[in-house]
Chains A and B, each alone.
Chain A
Amino acid sequence: DAKTTQPPSMDCAEGRAANLPCNHSTISGNEYVYWYRQIHSQGPQYIIHGLKNNETNEMASLIITEDRKSSTLILPHATLRDTAVYYCIVRPLSSGSARQLTFGSGTQLTVLP
């Protein structure tokens, strides 16, 4: 699976958009970009995934560059409850057998009041 690079920490003002970057310059054509987050002391939570098109769901938007070497997770109106560690993970689509998630160290997002 491709390696990812994320900043270790970021701050964001409450109510503003939080933009979390991720570099995955060695991504291959069949690998998806997944984002999970982990609120303190809880299990990780799936946020969103994408291949090459931008994606949006009720939690966030995912913007993937045209060359697919980087992506940005956008939380449009951050709240204090969005304070968490955010993990960017790159892996192939499940091929019929279980594929584990490889978690790096992620980005600690702190939403400030």
Chain B
Amino acid sequence: NAGVTQTPKFQVLKTGQSMTLQCAQDMNHNSMYWYRQDPGMGLRLIYYSASEGTTDKGEVPNGYNVSRLNKREFSLRLESAAPSQTSVYFCASSTRTSGYNEQFFGPGTRLTVL
């Protein structure tokens, strides 16, 4: 199992450009998440998807959109990138079938907006 994979690993954008961060998991998990981590800070939730076909806002959703394409894939889109969105983005997944909610994280995408 590859676990949670993210593409790209690194990206540099100019202000106003758009891009989509891709995330896929092969663990048959129902729930998927997008977090951002700014330097020296903990992770903050952007959006999550409790199950295929549903998405909900997290703590910091402004400037982002998401798509739960199928059970495996959950993408994060920046429509008009801003320097404040320079961050490391982590995707995670978890299963709802067990009593607790251990989350598995991908390796991250390092995004710089100039």
Contacts and interface: CB of A to CB of B under 8 A. Distances in A.
Interface of A: 32, 34, 41-46, 49, 87, 91, 93-94, 96-106
Contacts of B45: 100-102
Contacts of B108: 41-43
Contacts of A96: 96
A91 B100 CA distance: 10
Interface residues of B, number: 31
Interface of B: 4, 31, 33, 35, 40-45, 48-51, 56, 58-59, 90, 92, 94, 96, 99-108
B100 A32 contact: yes
Q: State the main secondary structure of chain A at its contact with B.
A: loop
A98 B90 contact: no
Contacts of B59: 100
